[in-house]
Amino acid sequence: MAALAGLRRATSLGRFNRKTKTMKSYTYLKTQMLGELLLVATSTHLVGIYFSDQKNGPKLPGDWKLDPKHPILRQTGRELQEYFDGERTRFSVPVSYDGTDFQNEIWKQIARIPFGATITYSELAQRAGAPAAVRAAGTATGKNPLGIIIPCHRIVGKNGAMGGYAGGLDRKKSLLKIESGTNL
């Protein structure tokens, strides 16, 4: 619950004004299980985790700074590695995201799904207060800028099918295996 409290605090304080440019730093994290991840942060919050081949991943703007020693990026790398090694079930790195009101609500609901649990896209839409918006919930899930930490891999189809995943279904299966304890 502490991780969720941090998530709620960060998102309420950390939403960025889209009209204001915020300096971002980035680094790459090479993982054996998922390949290369792009980690993006402001001076105070993690704002993105993207797979190298992700469809909706950002293009690196010229004003972003490659900074592998950035404290938030280093903390993220450590926490992700602990998660991959089966030693972490929650993340404490401060995060922030900026989507539409609906996207923000969907991401908030995804963040509340416990480690090792899954829910359906229908249940996600219902939790977000929009039970008829199942497809929109799926679309918002696919635009999650903080995959793994906001665990969109925990969303599955109504019949238990994997559904989609921005990082590809093999990565989604790998993340679910970590959480089921069968990957260790």
Q: What's the rounded Cα separation, in Å, for the pair 157 and 143?
A: 17
Containing 21, the helix (H) or strand (E) segment is none
DSSP state of 59: P
Instruction: Specify which residues 30 forms β-bridges with.
Output: 36
Place of tokens 């295996």: 177
Residue 20 three-state SS: coil
Q: List strands edge to edge, sheet with 65-66.
A: 46-51, 35-41, 25-31, 65-66
Q: What's the rounded Cα separation, in Å, for the pair 106 and 124?
A: 7
CB 149 within 8 A of CB 33: no
Of the residues 37, 95, 152, 155, only one is catalytic, namely 152
Residue 152: active-site member: yes
Q: What's the rounded Cα separation, in Å, for the pair 59 and 46?
A: 17
Q: Any idea which residues carry the catalytic annotation?
A: 152
